Amino acid sequence: MSSNVTLVTACDKNYLWGAFLLAASTARNLPNVPMHVVQTGFSDEDKTFFNQFPLVSVLSLAADDPRNVANRKAEALLTAETEYVGWLDADCMIVGDIEPMLIPENGEFQIRLRGEAENTQVWSNHYAAGEAHHGVPAAVLAQWGADVGQLAIPTHNTTCVTNAFILHRRHLDFIRQWKSQIAKVIAPANTGVVDRRSRPYFMIDESVLSSLLAYSAIAPPVASYRLDQVHQAHVAHFGVNPKPWKRWRKQFWPYHTAVMDLIDWLRSNDLAVPPIPWSLRRENTLLAWSIAQADAPYAKIRTFVGDLLRRWS
């Protein structure tokens, strides 16, 4: 092993197949990079599917925190001991050799910050009447500043995306601060990955980390994010439901070949595979494609209706 980066993910049994695709694609494309799969609810048999990869370690989340796994990323990250530590959600997959892009260009921290248009869309239902739709809503920024209680002026007026990021271990105190801040402002209950009842923290872990990037005195400087360039090696993110191991969406269909090839690679190397869901079987390709195509217009309708309901609520 020569890598100075450890990749970390965490999940419960509902994301077994997602974590397996991530671990397998890491083993195939990044053979020198260790990975920690920090889990809850895996059986001993489940763990064997991961332990067959030489650099994958299966660890357990502590039993004393009822929050959703998505809000326990800091706990998982702190298991790594290498110079750099990277987080990947358990619905991500490595496509190609991303090792040259893992180290942040500034040697500190790489994470994706939302651009102005995307950030405005995220907060579109949260601006006050008459407030300009720009950046983070003023009331949210004020709440963040009060809760963090460090800097008077925010260093960022946008949000970050926490599905994938990498930082130098000198900034693990910032990760510990993320953990303690979640404990401070997020109730100790499993409210899912989104909680629209909380205006300043409706994206929960992502909102809390965004608040710290804005107001923490120890927030690391952010380098450009290099892991989403789809024309080259990159991190694919199956970020909305349904996931491919349940049913393919049209937007994810371009990765169907990569997933099928990964499963073929596993079999050709005599590596065990968990029971394969119908959507990931080659013989069901036409059916899976047809459902994905038919689902697209209905997804747009559901999104439109959902937006209306949120505006009226």
Total domain count, the chain: 2
Residues β-bridged to residue 111: 165
The tokens 């048999």 sit on which residue?
Answer: 45
Query: In this structure, are 114 and 202 located in the same domain?
Result: yes
Query: In this structure, are 32 and 69 located in the same domain?
Result: yes
Query: In this structure, are 91 and 51 located in the same domain?
Result: yes
Residue 13 lies inside a defined structural domain of this protein: yes
CATH no. for residue 184? 3.90.550.10
Contact between 73 and 218 (Cβ < 8 Å): no
Q: What is the pLDDT of residue 295?
A: 75
- Total-model pTM: 0.93
Query: In this structure, are 99 and 137 located in the same domain?
Result: yes
Mean pLDDT of 143-159: 97
Residue 230 lies inside a defined structural domain of this protein: no
Which pLDDT band holds residue 2 (cuts at 50, 70, 90)? low
Query: In this structure, are 146 and 258 located in the same domain?
Result: no
- pLDDT, tens digit, 9 for 90 and up, residues 48-84: 999 999 999 999 999 999 999 999 999 999 999 999 9
- pLDDT, tens digit, 9 for 90 and up, residues 161-194: 999 999 999 999 999 999 999 999 999 999 888 8
- pLDDT, tens digit, 9 for 90 and up, residues 258-271: 999 999 999 999 99
Give the separation between CA 293 and CA 172, rounded to whole angstroms: 43
- pLDDT, tens digit, 9 for 90 and up, residues 186-241: 999 998 888 888 899 999 999 999 999 999 999 999 999 999 999 999 999 999 99
Query: In this structure, are 295 and 173 located in the same domain?
Result: no
Q: What is the pLDDT of residue 164?
A: 98
Give the separation between CA 107 and CA 84, rounded to whole angstroms: 9
Query: In this structure, are 256 and 127 located in the same domain?
Result: no
Q: What is the pLDDT of residue 176?
A: 98
Residues β-bridged to residue 36: 8, 57
Query: In this structure, are 209 and 248 located in the same domain?
Result: no
User: 247: Cβ–Cβ under 8 A, 6 or more apart, which residues?
Assistant: 279, 288, 291, 292, 295
- Neighbour-count burial for 42-56, b at 16+ CB within 10 Å, e otherwise: beeebbebbebbebb
Q: What is the pLDDT of residue 1?
A: 42
Query: In this structure, are 180 and 250 located in the same domain?
Result: no
Residue 221 lies inside a defined structural domain of this protein: no
Residue 234 lies inside a defined structural domain of this protein: no
Rounded to 5 degrees, φ, ψ at 310 are: -65, -35
Q: Which range, of 24-33, 102-111, 291-300, averages the lowest pLDDT? A: 291-300
- pLDDT, tens digit, 9 for 90 and up, residues 85-131: 999 999 999 999 999 999 999 999 999 999 999 999 999 999 999 99
Query: In this structure, are 20 and 77 located in the same domain?
Result: yes
What is the domain range of residue 290? 240-312
Query: In this structure, are 206 and 299 located in the same domain?
Result: no
